[in-house]
């Protein structure tokens, strides 16, 4: 007796709509906002009476724990391509590689700036900004920005438009949102887009996990602000040493910091290109949604 194969029934219309990559992306962003907004409101309410040095770490840790829970329970199950961006088994290795790799990379940028006379150490610093840099610019920005830019925007833009579209769009958006920072310039936006966008986007493509981008982001910010006393994306804190940037802003980055310098653009750009190249070599380049559908239809 012949066995007749029947095609599976199509998914309901509502399921096909919410599983469409760009719709799924908007749902994920709304869920993240639903977690972040109330935590930040409560933190702001207690900030002045309790003290920001106490409230900032509590808010940062609360947000990270809540968003990890959201990713594990909800975000990884969204869309037609289920994926866990925070596999715990990979966390220790990828975080360590990211933190130490970014620390070495930014230290190289500082060293070149010092050789060119753009970075000068005057003595030891007071590290009075350690809470803000470690928890807000480090843990908070490192995790939350990566979850949003790589874990949501990159993930579902890539699923719709392919890896190159995701890399280009998220890099541009990453540079654009930093244009609202203190002392931002066109050069700072360009450098952050070209360097951070490709380095962090390439790290996500290569590992298909957020841990390496989070480690890189955290290590970059903490090394520049807490160790070398360089402004973190325009925020001038107080680090381990007391240092200053002098000379031509193209070399020193000016008030925004070394992130806005030609040195960072070249050194960081090479590192970002290398990370993307590694992802390409590993075969981690996704074709656009319509191209994948065409291949599937012709199979």
CA–CA distances in Å: residue 47 to residues 38, 40, 125, 148: 14, 10, 26, 25
Give 14-69 pLDDT, tens digit per residue.
888 899 999 999 999 999 999 999 999 999 888 888 887 888 899 999 999 999 99
Give 240-289 pLDDT, tens digit per residue.
999 999 999 999 999 999 999 999 999 999 999 999 999 999 999 998 98
- CA 30, CA 148: separation in Å to the nearest integer? 11
Give 125-139 pLDDT, tens digit per residue.
988 888 888 888 889
pTM for the model stands at: 0.93
The tokens describing 182, both together, are 């203190």
């Amino acid at each position: 007796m012949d066995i007749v194969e029947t095609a599976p029934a199509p998914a309901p219309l509502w399921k096909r709509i919410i599983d469409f990559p760009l719709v799924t992306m908007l749902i994920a962003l709304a869920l993240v906002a639903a977690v972040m907004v109330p935590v930040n409101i409560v933190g702001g309410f207690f900030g002045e009476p309790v003290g920001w040095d106490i409230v900032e770490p509590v808010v940062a840790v609360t947000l990270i724990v809540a968003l990890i829970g959201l990713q594990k329970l909800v975000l990884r199950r969204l869309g037609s391509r289920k994926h866990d961006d925070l596999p715990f088994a990979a966390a220790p290795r990828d975080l360590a590689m990211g933190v130490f790799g970014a620390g070495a990379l930014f230290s190289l940028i500082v060293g070149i700036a010092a050789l060119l006379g753009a970075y000068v150490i005057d003595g030891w610093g007071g590290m009075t900004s350690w809470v803000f840099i470690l928890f807000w610019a480090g843990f908070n920005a490192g995790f939350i920005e990566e979850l949003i830019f790589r874990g949501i925007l990159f993930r579902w833009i890539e699923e719709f438009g392919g890896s190159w579209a995701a890399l280009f769009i998220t890099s541009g958006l990453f540079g654009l949102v930093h244009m609202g920072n203190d002392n931002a310039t066109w050069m700072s936006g360009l450098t952050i887009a070209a360097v951070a966008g490709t380095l962090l986007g390439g790290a996500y493509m290569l590992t298909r996990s957020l841990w390496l981008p989070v480690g890189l982001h955290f290590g970059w910010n903490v090394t520049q602000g807490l160790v070398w006393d360089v402004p973190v994306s325009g925020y001038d804190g107080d680090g381990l040493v007391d240092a200053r940037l002098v000379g031509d802003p193209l070399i020193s980055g000016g008030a925004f910091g070394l992130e806005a310098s030609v040195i960072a653009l070249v050194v960081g750009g090479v590192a970002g290109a290398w990370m993307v190249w590694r992802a390409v070599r590993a075969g981690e380049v996704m074709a656009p949604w319509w191209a994948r559908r065409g291949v599937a239809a012709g199979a």
